[in-house]
Amino acid sequence: MSTQEELTLLLEEKIECGKNLVTRLKDIKHLDGVLKLQRKILQEIEFLKRLQKSKNVKIEQLSCSNLRHLGAMVDCATRNDIVAVCKVFHINDENKLTIDIVSNGGRVWTKVIARNPKSLSALSSGKSSYGARTILDQANDYIECAKLYPCMYQSPMVVFEFVSGIEETLANKLKAKGVIVYGDVLPDSKQHEESGSNSDDYDDSDEELDIGIRLEESEIIANNVEEHVGIDTLNLDVTTMMAYVSNMTNGHCYYVFKQDVLTQQSHWEAQRPVKPVLQELFKGKRLICCETAWNDFEKIVNTLGGPMEMKRTAELKAVLTIYADDHGGKDDYPRKNLKVRGNVRLRSKIIFNFGHRMKALTVSANEGFVRAASQQGVTYAAFIHESRALTESKEASATLTHL
C-alpha cells in the first residue's frame, strides 16, 4: 500500500499534469470543442485540489481521476487534420452522442479509451453491474450515429483508440462490427490470470502515452479515405446561379458602383474571378436544382437582371435539370429537424436538403447557412465560393475604372 506521502506526491504530479494539458490546448484553441475539453480538464484539476486540501488522500480517490483519458484526448486533438473534439451529434430527439475526435474532414470519428484492458474485457463479457454499458454497446452507438451523419455521402469511419491496449478477443469483436482498432492488441487475460496484475483502472504512470498503431490498420484508413467515390452531380443554389450569370463575373468587374457592397465584390472579382472556378467545377458534372431555387433565381433575374444576364440565364437553364423540391423522398434525421432561425433560412434548408437527398454536392456562396447548420449538428456536402450579385443594370450609374 502506498504511504500518504507517496500519494500526496502523486496527487501533486497529477495536478501539474492537468495544468500542462491546459497549456497544450492553447495552441489549438480555435478548434471546435477545445474549450469544452479544457473545461473538463479544469474540473479534474479542481477535484484533485479538493483532495489536496483534505490532507487525507486515498488511492481509490486518485483512481477516479479522468486525467489519463483526457491526456489521451489532448494527444489526439493536437494531431494533424483534426476537425473537432467533444462533438455532439443527435441520434434522435431524445438521445445524443459525444464523439471524442472528428478528423480527416469529418470522415473519421475516433473514440479514445484509457481504461485497463482487463476491465474492458470483463465488462464486455457480462461481469459487471446490471445496465452498465460496454465498449461493444458504445461501438454500436458510434456506428449507428455515423450512418445519420455521412461525410460526402459515406458514413464516417469509426476508430476506437485504446491507450492502454485491448485484449485480442474484444478487439476481434469490435473489428467484426466494422470498428477500426488502434492500440496494442494483448493476449486475453483469462489465459494469464495467475500471473496477471490485480490492478484495475488505476495507472500511476505520467509518462508520455505510447499508442502502438498497427501499420495495416493505418493503411486501411488511408485507403478508405482515398476511395471515397467522387460526386458527379452538382446542386446549384440561388447564389451560385447568380454568380454564374452575373455581368461582374463575365468580364465587367472594373466598376465603382453607388452601392458599396457591389464595389467590394467587383474588387474581389478582379483579384479572384469566380466564374473560372465554377466552370472548372462544372466540367463533366450533371447540374441540377430544385424548383424553389430556380423560381427564386428567375424572379431575381427578371427583376434586377440586364439583357446579357437574362441571356446567360436561358443558357444555364438549357443545361440544368430542375426537380420538384420533394424529389428523392423525405428528409432524413437530423436534416428534417433543422431549426429555421438566424442564418438557417427556409429557402436554404429546402435547397440543401434537396441536394442531400440527391447525393449531390451543393454549390453555394451561403457559407453562413452551412456554418449555422453545423452548429445544430447538421452537415452538408457543399462547395462554397465567394458571393457575386447581378450588376448589369447598375453599370449605367457606375464609374468605369479600367478598360
Q: Is the pLDDT at 193 greater than 60, yes or no?
A: no
The cell for 47 is: 477535484
pLDDT at site 223? 39
Q: How many residues does the chain have?
A: 403
Which of 323, 302, 304, 296 has the alpha carbon at shortest distance from 314? 302
d(CA 292, CA 274): 24
Q: Which pLDDT score is estimated for 127?
A: 64
CA distance 215 to 313: 53
- Say if residue 12's pLDDT is above 70: yes
CB distance 390 to 249 below 8 Å:
no
pLDDT tens-place string over residues 323-377: 999 998 888 888 999 999 999 999 999 999 999 999 999 999 999 999 999 888 8
CA distances from 388 to 181, 266, 308 (A): 47, 8, 16
72-112 pLDDT, tens digit per residue, is 999 999 999 999 999 999 888 888 899 999 999 899 999 99
Residue 62 has pLDDT above 90, yes or no: no
Residue 236 CB-density burial (10 A; 0-12 exposed, 13-18 middle, 19+ buried): buried
Q: How confident is the model at residue 133 (pLDDT cuts 50, 70, 90)?
A: confident
- Percentage of the chain lying above the pLDDT 70 cut: 86
Cell numbers placing 274: 469566380
C-alpha cell at 235: 446542386
Question: What pLDDT, on a 0 to 100 scale, did the predictor assign at position 401?
Answer: 86
| Summary mean pLDDT of the chain | 86
The CATH number of 233-400 is which of 3.30.470.30, 1.20.200.10, 1.10.3720.10, 3.40.50.1010?
3.40.50.1010
Contact 73, 101 (CB under 8 A): yes
**Residue 67 to residue 163: CA distance in whole angstroms:** 12
Task: Confirm if 146 and 101 have CB atoms less than 8 A apart.
Answer: no
Q: Where are the beta strands (DSSP E) in 104-238?
A: 108-113, 157-162, 166-167, 180-182, 185-186, 233-236
Contacts of 343 (CB under 8 A, 6+ apart): 368, 369, 371, 372
Within 227-290, residue ranges assigned H as helices are 238-245, 260-271, 275-282
**Residues 25 and 34: beta-carbon distance below 8 Å:** yes
Q: How far is CA 163 from CA 83, 131, 157, 183, 185, in A?
A: 21, 25, 19, 6, 11
Residue 42 predicted with pLDDT over 50: yes
Q: 244 or 116, which is more confident?
A: 244
Residue 227 has pLDDT above 60, yes or no: no
pLDDT at 319: 97
Q: Is 311 helix (H, G, I), strand (E, B) or coil?
A: helix
Separation CA 400–CA 99 (nearest Å) = 53
* Residues 363/351/237/334 CA torsion (nearest 10 deg): -30
User: Residue 77: left (phi > 0), alpha (psi -120 to 50), or beta?
Assistant: alpha
Q: Is 245 helix (H, G, I), strand (E, B) or coil?
A: helix
pLDDT over threshold 70, residue 209: no
Q: Does position 403 have pLDDT exceeding 70, yes or no?
A: no
pLDDT at 201: 38
Grid coordinates belonging to 279: 466552370
Helix (H) or strand (E) holding 364: strand 361-364
Tell me, what's the pLDDT at 204? 32
pTM passes above 0.85: no
Yes or no: say if 81 and 104 are a contact pair by the CB < 8 Å rule. Answer: yes
Query: How many CB atoms lie under 10 A from the CB of residue 19?
Result: 13
Distance CA 316, CA 204 (A): 66
Name the H helices within 26-93: 34-54, 59-62, 67-77
pLDDT, tens only, 254-312: 999 999 999 999 999 999 999 999 999 999 999 999 999 999 999 999 999 999 999 99
Helix, strand and coil in the chain, % to nearest 5: 50, 15, 35
Determine the residue type at 283.
K
